[in-house]
Amino acid sequence: MALFSVSKTAFLLAFLSLRTYQSEVLSEPLPWAPESLKVSVNTTSQCLHLQWTVHNLAHHQEFRMVFQIEISRIKTSNVIWVENYTTTVKWNQVLHWSWESKLPLECAKHFIRMRSAVDAAKTPGPRVWSSWSSWEEADVQNSLGQDPLFVFPKDKLVEEGSNVTICYVSKSHQNNISCYLEGVRMQGEQLDPNVSVFNLNHVAFIRETGTNIYCKPGQGDGIKGTVLFVSKVLQEPKDFSCETQDLMTLNCTWDPGSDTGLLKQLSQSYTLFESFSGKKILCKHKSWCLWQVAPESQDMYNFTLTAENYLRKRSVHLLFHLTHRVHPMAPFNVLFKNVNATSATMTWKVHAIGKYYTLLCQVELYGEGKVTQHNVSVKVDGVHLFSGLEPDTEYLAQVRCANGNHFWKWSEWTHQNFTTVEAAPSEAPDVWRNVKIVQGRCVVTLFWKPLSKLQAHGKILFYNIVIEYLDRTSGSEVLSIPAPASGTELPLNQCSSQIRITASNSVGTSPASVLVVSREPGNEEVEEERVKGTEDGFPLSWNPQPRHVTGYLVEWCEQPRDPPCDLQWKNLGPNVTSTVVSSDAFRPGVRYNFRIYGISTERVPCLLARKTGYSQELAPSDNPQVVMTNLTSHSFTLSWKNYSTESQPSFIQGYHVYLKSKAGRCHSGSEKAVLSDDAVCCKYKIDNPEQKTFVVENLQPESFYEFLVTPYTSVGEGPHDAFAKVTTPDEYSPTLIRILLPTVFCILLIMITCYLKSQWMKEKCYPDIPDPYKSSVLSLIKSKENPHLTIMNIKDCVPDSIEVLNKQEGTRKSFTETESTKPTYLYLLPTEKRYSSPGPCICFENFTYNQAASDSASCGHVPAPPKAPPSQLGLLTSPENLLKALEKNYMNSLGEIPAGETSLNYVSQLASPMSGDMSNLPKNPPEPALCSEYKMQMAIPLGLASPPSSGSSSLSSITLLDEGERYH
């Protein structure tokens, strides 16, 4: 412990003595202080360059010294930079040091001083500095000139994104100076009364010609400015590579990257330096450079590519062996020899690369969608045989080469086309037929598919058809159909025949396709089956044939709706019993029919199956055209017999009959259905697609109904578009019609019968009275030319009374008893006692009759009441007489009394024109029982007859007629 205390004390004493010595040394000036300090300013680079010396060094003495440099701005006390510069100092050496100012040096004065010390990094203890040199001033403002305003720095080149300080110096003491960057005013800080500073951070590239920065006073035209050239950052060259094509010249290339965007004189340059040879060249281009190879003197190359501009330098290196960078030139003089249908020989030449180099060439052949590749070693000339080619096919051959010893890069391809020659077709044409009987003759329509390019081996010129009749009596026929026909129609002399079809090109003929045609249509009774199409097509299957077949064939029409239907077929092998038929022509909603044939060994097709289906079923787009019949008050019948279920876009499974009514009730056999328009109706379902009639029953009379018949399928039913409208008739109207019509008919029949009978009775009982004027007697009289002889005219007769004889019958006795016991007289001539008693009677005496007016021989006296119409006569008061009075209307104007009541005996036959024609008589003749008796009229000589007394009788007669007419 005591020993430890003693040694500690000794160490402290030694340390204190050392510190004392050092203090004494520092108090003396250092003998190697910096002297002759000079400061210069480079305004282009904005650098202060310092230059000084160190004296008192021995001739061979070298010291490693540290120079501490202080830089002040504006005034010496404002130190802005302190840096220790360490270097080895020799005897009589001038030392240099530079400092780049962020602030343009023109903007402010700078002061610099320094001191030195021996670099005692290996010596412990503090560094002993010399005394400071005096302050050196760097003032550029004195040399600016007399302009009132300056903007600095001038034409400074910076990289994009860097920070830049701008200042202006005003000598006119104007304070209202404003500065702008590309038209945008900048805000700065005042460094002194005449200087303002603007700090621009992260300056951006604007244009190649630089960014304009300018300042101007508030008054006057003293605009000043500067241009700041902002460069994009220089990029390192990429993909630097060198290669040779002939071992004579190296072509070095690189990607210079994005442009720095500067003026050409400020843009970067590229230099290529090779370290082994020490050569350096300045590249003329930005992305490539040529280097001349010294022949056989250098194999290894070490290149350094340097991109450099004012701001940055970037380099990349590349070391390689010359022979490993051989990029041969493209082969040339490519030719083809001995080109035939299946082979060709290709030759080419290559550019030689030295004497001992072998090239590896790659040959490619493009043709028929295939590529084949071969490698060939080549010294000077290359040869390659292409075999297994297709006839009449154009091929593209190309070749490229590379250094076979050290692969670097393939050369460019050299292309050449050639075409093989034609050959005979290799395959028989695929043929099918359609047989039909036209007027007892077989007509075969042949179809064939064009041979593929691989089968045709050239351009097919025509198709040969040989028809051989199987009975060997009709011989054979040969036809030639020019290409590009794909079918023909052949009327055959007889059906049983064998047809051979071949295809020919300019070289030869193909094998033959053989078809056998027979009259028998084959198994046409095969039931049609349904097949469901899928996205892949129609899957078809059939039962294998027990007897031997050479294959199967499926036939269909791709355009079944448009004749010709575009018959298609597909040949299948003998062991195949299913296939999928697909075609781009298949459309949804179209029914396709497939027929599957088995081809026998005799080449006779036999129908095995029939399939039908849709590639995709669609809902029916149309509803049937419905005809309504048998409309009754309770039912009607709907019929759509013209609706074809075959031509619909899906298989029709049945029909729905919709019935709308106001009642809304659905009877048995129907169900309620809600339509898309929320209408409720009754739906009848018909499951049989072939049932195309339907009776709608249980309807209400005189009711309004709407109905619709729509087909339904597995994918939906037809549109619910237009409902037909119907109103049921009244329930009793048909019954009434059934009763009324026969009744009316019967009545009419009876009336006609009665009329005919009355006519018959009239003919039999009271035929027409002959017209005296038409009597033959007149002609006799005329022949005697006696003008005095004539028929008595009524005007010649002066009637004085008419006697009406009433014949009493049956029930009329009472009347007779009371009134008709005496004859009734009509007083036609005025008498004095006319109103009181029956007056003198006017008698007609007809001398033309050999019989007096009836047996009574007296004139009828008809009582004529002065004013009362005949209807007021007591004779007509009874209902029975009313009808007779009506019948009187049908009597002629002679004032006949109905025969049922009176029997009128004509006393005088008036020769009135009105009575002359019996056709004018009423239709209703008197009853036979009441008929008057007519006697045969005969003309009598004039002497036997009294002459007519006066003309007034005629007047009376007319008066009577008038009265009679009035009663009608």
Closest approach of Cβ 211 to another protein, in Å?
7
Q: Which is nearer to another protein, 158 or 549 (CB)?
A: 158
Between 41 and 802, CB nearer to another protein: 41
Contact between 409 and 325 (Cβ < 8 Å):
no
Is 145 a binding residue for another protein by CB under 8 A? The answer is no
The answer to whether 472 contacts another protein (rule: CB under 8 A) is no
Candidates 62-70, 208-216, 362-370, 904-912 — which segment interacts with another protein by CB under 8 A? 208-216
CA dist., res. 86 & res. 97, Å (int): 10
Nearer to another protein, 144 or 857 (CB): 144
**Is 33 a residue that touches another protein (CB under 8 A)?**
no
- Choose between 178 and 372: whose C-beta lies nearer to another protein: 178
CB of 148 to another protein, least distance (A): 14
Among 61, 92, 163, 209, binds another protein (CB under 8 A): 209
Distance from C-alpha of 552 to C-alpha of 544, rounded to nearest angstrom: 10
Taking the complex as a whole, the smallest distance from the CB of residue 212 to another protein amounts, in Å, to: 5
Write down the least CB distance from residue 566 to another protein, Å: 55
**In terms of CB distance, is 200 or 549 closer to another protein?**
200
Q: Name which of 829, 927, 936 is nearest 884 in CA terms.
A: 927
Q: Pick the closer one to another protein by CB: 224 or 400.
A: 224
Q: How far is it, in rounded angstroms, from Cα 325 to Cα 242?
A: 7
Give the shortest CB-111-to-another protein separation in angstroms. Answer: 28
When the beta carbons of 155 and 768 are compared against another protein, the nearer one is: 155
CB nearer to another protein: give 172 or 759: 172
**Of residues 207, 406, 436, 813, which one binds another protein by CB under 8 A?**
207
For strands 528-532 and 605-614, give the pairing: parallel
Stretch that binds another protein, among 103-111, 261-269, 346-354, 523-531 (CB under 8 A): 261-269
DSSP 853: S
User: Given the rule CB under 8 A, which of 214-222, 268-276, 306-314, 770-778 is the region that contacts another protein?
Assistant: 214-222
Q: How far apart are CA 306 and CA 304, in angstroms?
A: 6
Of 675, 684, 687, 680, the closest CA to residue 719 belongs to 675
Q: Which is nearer to another protein, 229 or 651 (CB)?
A: 229
115 contributes a contact to another protein by CB under 8 A: no
Q: How far apart are CA 482 and CA 462, in angstroms?
A: 4
Among 122, 264, 355, 867, binds another protein (CB under 8 A): 264
Shortest reach from residue 265's CB to another protein, in Å? 8
- For the record, the structure tokens of 429 come out as 């044409």
Question: 167 to 186, contacts with another protein by CB under 8 A?
Answer: 180, 182-183
Does 661 participate in binding another protein (rule CB under 8 A)?
A: no
Residue pair 457/503 in contact by the 8 Å Cβ criterion = no
**Residue 373 φ/ψ, nearest 5 degrees:** -130, 140
- Determine the interface stretch with another protein among 115-123, 218-226, 666-674, 815-823 (rule: CB under 8 A): 218-226
* Phi-psi category of residue 81: left, alpha or beta, with phi > 0 → left and psi -120 to 50 → alpha: beta
Residues near 383 by beta carbon (within 8 Å), at least 6 away in sequence: 345, 346, 347, 376
DSSP helix/strand/coil, 273: strand
> Is 749 near another protein (CB under 8 A)?
no
CB 607 within 8 A of CB 523: yes
Nearer to another protein among residue 206 and residue 360 (C-beta): 206
| Closest CB to another protein among residues 154, 314 | 154
- Does 214 participate in binding another protein (rule CB under 8 A)? yes
Closest to 615 (Cα-Cα) out of 572, 582, 569: 582
Q: Are 423 and 504 in contact (CB under 8 A)?
A: no
- Residue 45 binds another protein (CB under 8 A): no
User: Token match 């003197």: residue?
Assistant: 297
DSSP string of 350-402?
----SSS--EEEEEEEEETTEEEEEEEEESSEEEEEE-SPPTT-EEEEEEEEE
Q: How far is the CB of 138 from another protein (least distance, A)?
A: 21
Q: Does residue 295 touch another protein according to CB under 8 A?
A: no
Instruction: In angstroms, give the least distance from the CB of 295 to another protein.
Output: 41
**Binding status of residue 224 toward another protein by CB under 8 A:** yes
All residues at 6 or more sequence positions from 18 whose CB lies less than 8 Å from its CB, including other chains: none
Residue 408 sits at φ, ψ, to 5 deg, of -120, -65
Please name the residue that has the structure tokens 């600016």.
Answer: 144
Residue type, 626: V
Helix, strand, coil percent content, the chain, rounded in steps of 5: 15, 40, 45
**Does position 144 bind another protein by CB under 8 A?**
no
Least distance to another protein, CB of residue 228, Å: 10
In this chain, which of 34, 104, 210, 256 binds another protein, going by CB under 8 A?
Answer: 210
Q: Under 8 Å CB-to-CB from 456, ≥6 apart: which residues?
A: 392, 425, 450, 503, 505
- What is the x/- site pattern for another protein, positions 226-245, by CB under 8 A? xx------------------
Residues in 148-167 that interact with another protein by CB under 8 A: 151, 154-155
- Strands in 110-118's sheet, in edge-to-edge order, are 79-89, 63-73, 110-118, 136-138
Report the largest interatomic distance among the alpha carbons of the chain, rounded to a whole angstrom.
229
Q: Does 962 bind another protein (CB under 8 A)?
A: no
Cβ nearer to another protein, comparing 228 with 804: 228
φ and ψ at residue 672, rounded to 5 degrees? -75, 140
Comparing CB distances to another protein, the nearer of 232 and 349 is 232
Closer by beta carbon to another protein, 209 or else 377: 209
Is residue 140 a contact point for another protein (CB under 8 A)? no
Shorter beta-carbon distance to another protein: residue 169 or 907:
169
Strand order in the sheet with 487-491: 430-438, 441-449, 487-491
The answer to the question of residue 223 lying near another protein (CB under 8 A) is yes
Indicate the helix (H) or strand (E) that contains 654: strand 654-661
CB 457 within 8 A of CB 505: yes
What would the DSSP string read from start to end of 76-117?
TT-EEEEEEEEEEE-TTPEEEEEEE-SS-GGGS-EEEEEEEE
Stretch that binds another protein, among 1-9, 219-227, 607-615, 776-784 (CB under 8 A): 219-227
Number of Cβ atoms within 10 Å of the Cβ of 290: 14
Q: Give 227 or 567: the residue with its C-beta nearer to another protein.
A: 227
With beta carbons less than 8 A apart as the criterion, state whether 711 and 622 touch. Answer: no
Site residues for another protein, 528-587, by CB under 8 A, read none
| Total residues binding another protein (CB under 8 A) | 25
Q: Tell whether residue 269 is a contact of another protein (CB under 8 A).
A: no
C-beta of 227 vs 715, nearer to another protein: 227
Q: Angle CA(625)–CA(629)–CA(632) in degrees, nearest 5?
A: 140
204 binds another protein (CB under 8 A): no
How far apart are CB 354 and another protein at their closest, in Å? 44
Nearer to another protein, 179 or 841 (CB): 179
- Shortest Cβ distance from residue 186 to another protein (Å)? 12
When binding is defined by CB under 8 A, the residue of 188, 217, 225, 838 that contacts another protein is 225
* Look-up of token digits 């619910």: 720
Of the candidate spans 164-172, 213-221, 702-710, 726-734, the one that interacts with another protein by CB under 8 A turns out to be: 213-221
Nearest Cα to 465, choosing from 518, 508, 513, 506? 513
> Can residue 737 be called a binding residue for another protein (CB under 8 A)?
no
What residue ranges bind another protein (CB under 8 A)?
A: 151, 154-155, 180, 182-183, 206-214, 216, 221, 223-227, 263-265
